[in-house]
Amino acid sequence: MGRNGTRSGFYRFMVLLLCLAAVVFIGTEIFQVENCIVVGSHTLDDDVIINISGVSKSDNIFKIDKKLVKTRIESSAPFPKVLAVSIKLPDEVIISIEERTAVALIPYLSSYLLIDDSGFVLDIIKEDSIPTLPIVEGIHITRLKKGSLLELAESDKYRYKVLTVMLEAVTEWGSGELINSISLDNPDGISFLTRDGISVYIGQAVELDRKLGWLHSEAYTTVQQSDQEGSLDVSVPGKAVFHPDPVEEEEEETLEEENTDN
């Protein structure tokens, strides 16, 4: 019993000694932050991201609060997504981000909300300074906060889902420059107006890769170059039907007079 007690006391002493050594070792300058690297930034300034993160040189690398770093960055303009915050011994912190890209505008009072394809509000801008992006109509906002997702009424949750699905497809196809406005007044009967003045009926937000593909096809180019005004129906995947606008009465009378003269 005496020997066992002595051994147990010795082991406890050694464990305590190792813990104290580890604490001293961790607190040495060897583990102070020397480099902070931002991965994934393309248009953003790395120094701005690092400054927002709150990570500073001389910080102990083991005391970096990764969740706090993520929160600081994602809640500050320009609101990038933080994919990961990691450490590389002995003295490096790596912050991996994904930049948010503005893809559409939503009218709000006398301004516009600048949003990404997830419905995240990046900025609120005045009417006289809006960029060339599709304007989304039919979205009713209940609460607005810059730097967060759009908040819609419970009855508009389906409309919000349709919005994000539509914007993701527009982004994937790179169709934003071709579209002037998107109407979600009827989320199951989506339509939009191109910058060429052609009305396009999408219908439901399904098989959007095939439906939006028509904007980049020869068929659309033919419609675009024709003199006829009308609408393009692509609601049936794999099929596009152009409906010319009806001739106005004045134009019909003119045509009749010309035929009579002949």
Q: How far apart are CA 259 and CA 177, in angstroms?
A: 43
What integer is the mean pLDDT of 13-25? 49
Is 123 inside any structural domain?
yes
As to burial, measured by CB atoms within 10 angstroms (0-12 exposed, 13-18 middle, 19+ buried), residue 82 is buried
Same domain, residue pair 77 and 173: no
Same domain, residue pair 174 and 46: no
Give residue 106's pLDDT: 96
Q: E strands within the chain?
A: 35-39, 81-88, 92-98, 104-108, 111-115, 121-126, 135-137, 141-143, 151-152, 179-183, 190-194, 199-203, 230-233, 241-244
Of 69-73, 223-227, 241-245, least confident by mean pLDDT is 223-227
pLDDT at 120 over 90: yes
* Cis amide leading into 78 (omega within 30): yes
Boundary-marking domain end, from 55, 71, 98: 98
Percent of residues, the chain, with pLDDT higher than 90: 66
Q: What band does 32 get if pLDDT is binned at 50, 70 and 90?
A: very high
Is 174 inside any structural domain?
yes
Is 158 inside any structural domain?
yes
Is 249 inside any structural domain?
no
Give residue 17's pLDDT: 45
Same domain, residue pair 68 and 160: no
Strand order in the sheet with 35-39: 35-39, 92-98, 81-88
Task: Give me the number of domains the chain comprises.
Answer: 2
Is 236 inside any structural domain?
yes
What integer is the mean pLDDT of 141-145? 85
Percent of residues, the chain, with pLDDT higher than 70: 83
Same domain, residue pair 93 and 108: no
Same domain, residue pair 148 and 226: yes
Same domain, residue pair 117 and 139: yes
Same domain, residue pair 120 and 235: yes
Is 6 inside any structural domain?
no
Boundary-marking domain end, from 74, 98, 122: 98
Q: What band does 8 get if pLDDT is binned at 50, 70 and 90?
A: low
Same domain, residue pair 116 and 210: yes
Is 162 inside any structural domain?
yes
What is the domain range of residue 53?
Answer: 32-98
Higher pLDDT: 248 or 76? It is: 76
Same domain, residue pair 158 and 63: no
Angle at CA of residue 123, ends 113 and 49, nearest 5°: 155
pTM of the model: 0.78
**CB 57, CB 34: distance < 8 Å:** yes
Boundary-marking domain end, from 79, 98, 117: 98
What are the b/e assignments for 28-67, b being 16+ CB within 10 Å? eeebebeebebebbeeeeeebbbebbebeeebebeebeee
Give residue 249's pLDDT: 54
Task: Assign residue 78 the CATH number of its domain.
Answer: 3.10.20.310
Average pLDDT over all residues of the chain: 86
Give residue 15's pLDDT: 55
Give residue 20's pLDDT: 45
**CB 232, CB 223: distance < 8 Å:** yes
Higher pLDDT: 26 or 62? It is: 62
**CB 201, CB 235: distance < 8 Å:** yes
Is 257 inside any structural domain?
no
Q: What band does 82 get if pLDDT is binned at 50, 70 and 90?
A: very high
Same domain, residue pair 165 and 228: yes
pLDDT at 34 over 60: yes
pLDDT digits over 166-194, tens only?
999 999 999 999 999 999 999 999 999 99
* Pair of tokens at residue 127: 């009417």
Same domain, residue pair 50 and 117: no
Same domain, residue pair 145 and 218: yes
